[in-house]
Amino acid sequence: MTQLKVGFVGLSHLHPRLYMPLFDSLPEMTVTAVADTNPAVLGPFTKDYAVQGYADWREMLDNERLDLALLFLPHVECPDAAVACAERGIHLIVEKPMAAAAAGVARMQAAAEKAGVVLATPYLWRYHPVARHMKKLLDEGILGRVVGCEGRCAAGRLNRYIEGNAKWMLTKAQSGGGPMYNLGVHWIDLYRWLLQDEVVEVIGKNVKINSEYDIEDNSFAILTFRKGTVVALDISYTVPDSYPYGRDLYLSLRGTSGVLSWSPSFEGVRETLFVCSDGEEYSSSPRRHVDFELTPKPGYCGIMGVQFLQDVAKSITAKAPVTITGQDGFRALEVVEAIYRSVETGRAVMLESAKC
């Protein structure tokens, strides 16, 4: 098998080092080059992983014959870099939320389509065994009509971006915004996938605690989907230091005849899904706890990350559609932008795509 040659565009991010162990499980891919303007980040990375380093990603693209580029740049810089890669025939994985504005993702989509290259983004929760079981149960209709959902994601504090050489994440001009941009997009995408539906209207509210940066620490939103389901999101950089694993994660779906709820442990060993249904097949035991025993894998999101990269490799080599597309990234970011417009106006905002 011919290995796909991979390059990292940007290293001043929390994830590049976490991605490297994933490639140990991927004989179809190998990282050959990386680029970052900060020598204090670039030097240690190239030494630790024995890859070619560049101070300018454009020089890397010119000198290396890459098949795939992973973009870990500040969100505002991603569109220009993605277009440059596409114009060179290089396939793309752009770290979520892909850009600081949905218009930037649209630019990437147009460039990728014109060049005939894959454009993907790592909304990896779709690959989690619990999420896939939830999708199966939803498709079987055990909840009846899904009426309301909740999603909570409080992950870490602001200082983790400073310690992780990604202080740009705390500047709105570079990142686009706070936790809804960086974390909320995961749950927005996951609910789009679970419900097989699109958001049409949002209401948002932000709460700012820090005084050092121009992003908020907490973001809340009510999303209304086309079929009527309402999703409440609580997305935050505010979590007590004493909280297990430094993350407070929760997902639930409530329907006319059942409930699913899950608090991801993030420990990668054991997960439990609560299932309650009035369906006939649940008559003897309407309330169940479904346990999942997981085998941890090193690297970003473990087996979820490996499966995502395997899907991208298959899409490239087989010239097949990729599972999680640039359009998925566009849809999630479109929702986030609408939430921020609602925060500014104090009113509900209808998405532009819903007006068509």
Does domain 4-123 sit in CATH 3.40.50.720?
Answer: yes
What is the b/e burial string over 82-97, where b = at least 16 CB atoms within 10 angstroms of the residue's CB? bbbbbeeebbbbbbbb
The mean of the pLDDT values for the chain is 96
User: Are 96 and 153 within 8 A, CB to CB?
Assistant: no
Biggest alpha carbon–alpha carbon distance for the chain: 65
User: Are 67 and 3 within 8 A, CB to CB?
Assistant: no
Domain segments of the chain as ranges: 4-123, 125-301+333-350
C-alpha closest to that of 6 among 92, 74, 124 = 92
Angstrom distance (rounded) from CA 252 to CA 95: 26
Kindly report, residue by residue over 280-295, the tens digit of the pLDDT: 999 999 999 999 998 8
Kindly report, residue by residue over 75-129, the tens digit of the pLDDT: 999 999 999 999 999 999 999 999 999 999 999 999 999 999 999 999 999 999 9
For the cut 90, the answer to whether the pLDDT of residue 2 exceeds it is no
For the whole model, what pTM was predicted?
Answer: 0.97
> Which helix or strand (DSSP H or E) is residue 212 part of?
none
User: Are 272 and 260 within 8 A, CB to CB?
Assistant: no
- pLDDT band at residue 1 under the 50/70/90 scheme: low
pLDDT at 90: 98
CATH no. for 125-301+333-350 = 3.30.360.10
Kindly report, residue by residue over 27-74, the tens digit of the pLDDT: 999 999 999 999 999 999 999 999 999 999 999 999 999 999 999 999
